[in-house]
Amino acid sequence: MRSNGTSLASLAALLRDGENVITPHVVDSDEEPTLGALAAAGPRAAKAPGEYLLLVEAIREGYLLHYESPRLLKGADSDLRLLAGDYLYALGLERLAARGDLEAVGELADLISLVAQIHAEDEPGTSDERIPALWLASTVAVAAGASAEHVEAKEALRAGEPGTTETLAGVAAEGARRAGLGDALARAAESIGFAREGLPDRG
């Protein structure tokens, strides 16, 4: 198991804290926290990279508990998974707000809202490439700030316009290029199943 600064161990420890109903279901994971690492490597996280890694991964785990396979909880029923997912969403947003990073709070709140919209619109079991593209673009925005193109891409996604996967991937690639985060973006894309060739080369 890697150290808390480069693994999910600190998030697992947080979930075990306090002997709550979640505690008996918490497990360790060797999965790389690549989205959190992408956020932590950006200039906006320079003063507290470990905190940004933890909080982005808390939001990610909340998403997985709601819609996919969680990394840190096993054997929980559907109601407990939803409860734990909501708890992790709130944890990430509240601790970012406590840091005064309202831009990141807004970005991740948009992410939570938009993935919920996509899942509500899609057939169960559908693999929608808009979701990983949105995760990448939103995490780059947390790391390095949101461009006007990023804001427009989210609005297009919310409105159901076509081509948003490619637009979001391009926004993520450009934001990462400007901040020197290209390698971190590529690792994150691979880890969440977004083909590296789906990220345009922004030189």
DSSP H helical ranges for 41-180: 49-67, 78-98, 102-121, 130-144, 148-158, 164-179
At residue 6 the predicted structure's pLDDT band, cuts being 50, 70 and 90, is low
pLDDT tens string 20-69: 788 999 999 999 999 999 999 999 999 999 999 999 999 999 999 999 99
Count the neighbouring beta carbons within 10 Å of the beta carbon of residue 123: 6
Count the neighbouring beta carbons within 10 Å of the beta carbon of residue 32: 16
**37 touches 188 (CB < 8 A):** yes
